[in-house]
Amino acid sequence: MSNIKVMIVDDHPLFRQGLRDVIETDEALDVVAEAADGKHAIQLAYQHQPNVILMDINLPTINGLQVTRKIKAGLSEAQVITITGYDDAQQVLHALRAGASAYCPKDIMPETLVDIIHDVHDGFFVVGEKKMNYEELVEWIDLKLGIANALESDADESFVPLSPREMEILEQVTYGLSNKEIAFQLGISHQTVKNHMTAILRKLRVDDRTQAAVYALSNGWVRLDHRPST
């Protein structure tokens, strides 16, 4: 049996090296690629076609949720393990709906992470250290959020992941741009921006733009230190 190919996505070199060191303790695992930002991660995933991807959420250029969706769209067999410091049930659901198979804290024990890599490769889902099949995962999420069938596409729209365009607009909001400025920046109409903002507020269950920006920043979806020049 061939080894499990693993890709590491995190913008901190020391943390990437730590993950590589952990993975190399298992002879059945091979690190085939490393990426420090979202765009590079997508390119490397299609190039190396890893079996398992260790994915940070708070990334430069494109956040880990968007990267996961883009990779899973073309590489459905790749299993994504989200490793993050942002720990709450709603964030777990966003990650799972984006296509992740596991959601782990960054202070996870090395031997536990190795076990999770094998678990997701075998088709299981893991949240924290709880290993589940899909039916058990659905039950666990419903219990945590109090919403029936929260993982299903026709469930409460408040937890449907933001579309790529909505995420792009939310990013501009966190940079302080008005709807008019966002429309100019993205080359779309003012009304289109307003329509997207309405959907963003509804999905995030917040009342205004400021709360939406705080939500994005507090969950690591946007990084102000990597604001592109205009």
Range of the domain at 175: 162-226
- Consecutive 10-residue averages of pLDDT for the chain (230 residues): 93 94 96 94 96 92 88 94 79 86 92 96 91 90 72 53 82 90 92 91 88 84 63
Return the pLDDT at 156: 45
129, 46: one domain:
yes
Tokens of 81: 């393990």
Return the pLDDT at 79: 97
Return the pLDDT at 160: 55
Task: Judge contact between 153 and 93, C-beta under 8 A.
Answer: no
DSSP run (H or E) holding 53? strand 52-55
Residue 220 neighbours by CB under 8 Å, 6+ apart: 57, 58, 63, 64, 84, 85, 86
170, 104: one domain:
no
CA distances from 2 to 8, 29, 51, 54, 218 (A): 19, 9, 11, 19, 40
CATH of the domain at 81: 3.40.50.2300
Question: What does the alpha-carbon distance between residue 39 and residue 150 come to, in Å, rounded to a whole number?
Answer: 29
Return the pLDDT at 226: 57
Return the pLDDT at 5: 97
Q: Does a structural domain hold residue 155?
A: no
Q: Does a structural domain hold residue 153?
A: no
Question: What does the alpha-carbon distance between residue 198 and residue 145 come to, in Å, rounded to a whole number?
Answer: 23
10, 62: one domain:
yes
38, 132: one domain:
yes
CATH of the domain at 168: 1.10.10.10
pTM of the model: 0.74
Q: Does a structural domain hold residue 75?
A: yes
88, 180: one domain:
no
Query: How many separate domains does the chain show?
Result: 2
pLDDT in tens, 102-158: 999 888 999 999 999 999 999 999 997 889 999 998 888 888 766 666 666 554 444
Q: How many C-beta atoms surround the C-beta of residue 135 within 10 A? A: 8
| Helix axes 209-218 and 190-204, enclosed angle (nearest 10) | 60
Question: What does the alpha-carbon distance between residue 98 and residue 161 come to, in Å, rounded to a whole number?
Answer: 7
